[in-house]
Amino acid sequence: METVIEMPTRGALRKGPVAEGMARIKSNDIVTGDYRLMVLDAPPEMLDCRAGQFFHILCPTGESFRPYLRRPMSIYCFDPAAGELKFLYKVTGEGTGALSELRDGAEVNLLGPLGNGFTIREDWKNLLLVARGVGLATLAPLAKEAREAGCTLTAICSARTEALLMSIAEFEAMGAEVIPVTDDAGTSGVEALREVIEGRIAEGGLDAMYTCGSNRILTLLQDIGARHAIPGEIALEQQMACGLGMCHCCVRSFRREGGIVHERVCREGPVFDLQEAMGW
């Protein structure tokens, strides 16, 4: 049984109510290294989502792991027609460790979709996505929305090694030009990325840039965006307790209106204006 919670909106970004209930695991398999893809059979109330939103997941407790709080997890894919919800995650601690032990047929309690997602303005036709590691999970649904909006999309996918590159096929299936870069090939450094992005701007221009999670990529895109007057958005990652905006655990600082303001990543975000976000 699902509980539906009506949440106030920020502008017109949030879609639909928030649901709390159980979803059945269809698969929870290793993708590469410590990364897993969890596919859930989810009720319709949980599938009215936007790219960039997240769910707060109640992790199970057992002999190996005893997580206390829920864990926020970005939506990797949502498919209302198939009734599926997917999460790509890295096993790093108690919560994700507990999730990694769940097998097919098990049920997990979800709260969501939460937060405000990405926006694509009607006059934005040439888009750039830049992300690294599990940050690609957050941007994957944005590629689908870009395709539906008729946008041209370039996705720069970064990882330590070629074996850890993920979501390449998913981005290509959405019609994106994919540029893989890695540490071991020497192509993922800031100056190497700058050269690639500046080349795209020189060739035909960019209307907007999107990223997730990485401080050095944020700083790079802020610099390029400011010099070329290109807007953008970033999905921020932050520890959360409630996920609803009540506990103020996830407050971050932002530049706005000539000063510094403080907002909750779970409630006002997790997606924010690229130039307003502050490094960490």
What CA–CA distance (Å, rounded) separates 237 from 194? 23
Tell me if 38 is assigned to a ligand binding site. Answer: no
Tell me if 46 is assigned to a ligand binding site. Answer: no
Q: What are phi and psi of 263, to 5 degrees?
A: -135, 160
- What 244-252 contacts at long range (C-beta under 8 Å, 24+ apart), as own/partner pairs, is 244/7, 244/114, 252/277, 252/278, 252/280
Tell me if 266 is assigned to a ligand binding site. Answer: yes
Tell me if 49 is assigned to a ligand binding site. Answer: no
Tell me if 95 is assigned to a ligand binding site. Answer: yes
What are the DSSP E strand ranges found in 77-207?
77-79, 84-90, 107-114, 126-132, 152-159, 177-182
* HSE-CB for 66 with a 13 A CA cutoff: 1
Sheet holding 271-273, edge to edge: 177-182, 152-159, 126-132, 208-212, 232-235, 271-273
Tell me if 43 is assigned to a ligand binding site. Answer: no
Tell me if 74 is assigned to a ligand binding site. Answer: yes
Alpha helices by DSSP H, listed for 113-234, are 135-148, 168-173, 190-203, 215-228
Report how far apart, in Å, the C-alpha atoms of 89 and of each of 39, 93, 137, 182 are.
11, 11, 8, 19
Tell me if 83 is assigned to a ligand binding site. Answer: no
**Between β-strands 251-256 and 232-235, what pairing exists: parallel, antiparallel or unpaired?**
unpaired
Tell me if 160 is assigned to a ligand binding site. Answer: no
**Between β-strands 71-74 and 54-58, what pairing exists: parallel, antiparallel or unpaired?**
antiparallel
Tell me if 250 is assigned to a ligand binding site. Answer: yes
Binding residues for [2Fe-2S] cluster: 242, 247, 250, 266
Binding residues for FAD: 71-74, 95-96
Binding residues: 71-74, 95-96, 242, 247, 250, 266
